[in-house]
Amino acid sequence: LPAGVNELVRVYVAQKRKISDGDKLAGRHGNKGVIGKILPVEDMPFLPDGTPVDIILNTHGVPRRMNIGQILETHLGWVAKTGWNIEGNPEWAQNLPEDLQSAPADTRTATPVFDGAREEELTGLLSSTLPNRDGEVMVDGDGKARLFDGRSGEPFPYPVTVGYMYILKLHHLVDDKIHARSTGPYS
């Protein structure tokens, strides 16, 4: 503290702001991007049971950057959210502990990065997910689901990968960066 100052008070102001077009989001796997458009919920694509999709990610960001971890997180997120029940004794489930043969919805799961779930275990768990209230299993064994256009109600021509993943809002908000000038230097 400077001379003559007995007490220092620091005040931090926290505020909640809604995201807007141009704000930056990122996942846990180096996948980041800018919000292109925010649509009302009724215009978003939806699953056969009517559940709308929250975020649509650019599909070119996965193979180009080779961050396959986000696909693993999406699939395991879906399995954990819906729960699973492995019937019988399939070959892919031989190494799973007894307490993991079934789990209710909203179960917390984790897998090591390199020595974690194998592809056949993941497809087996996706095939063993519990049905929703209507008795439908939304996602097939390869992690894809039939989506419907929110505006027209027509199904999309191909199944789409759906699931749950953690998305962070970065501190690159468009409202903080907007800048205008009439004359003078660029900065």
Residue 185 lies in a domain: no
Burial (0-12, 13-18, 19+ Cβ within 10 Å), 130: middle
pTM of the model: 0.80
Tell me if 4 is assigned to some domain. no
- Tell whether 15 is covered by a domain: no
Give the CATH number of the domain where residue 106 resides.
Answer: 2.40.270.10
pLDDT for residue 44 = 95
Q: What pLDDT is stored for residue 58 in this prediction?
A: 81
Task: Give the count of domains, the chain.
Answer: 1
Task: Answer whether residue 158 is part of any domain.
Answer: yes
Residue 95 belongs to some domain of the structure: yes
The predicted structure's pLDDT at residue 176: 75
Q: What is the pLDDT of residue 187?
A: 62
Residue 155 lies in a domain: yes
Could you tell me if residue 17 is inside a domain? no
CB 129 within 8 A of CB 82: yes
> Which pLDDT score is estimated for 98?
83
24-26/32-34 β-pairing: antiparallel
Any domain includes 162: yes
Q: Which parts of the chain have pLDDT scores under 50?
A: none
Q: What is the distance between the alpha carbons of residues 16 and 102, in angstroms, rounded to a whole number?
A: 39
Write the single-letter amino acid at 55: I
User: What residues make up the domain containing 152?
Assistant: 24-177
| pLDDT at residue number 92 | 87
DSSP of 85-97, one letter per residue?
E--S--GGGTTS-
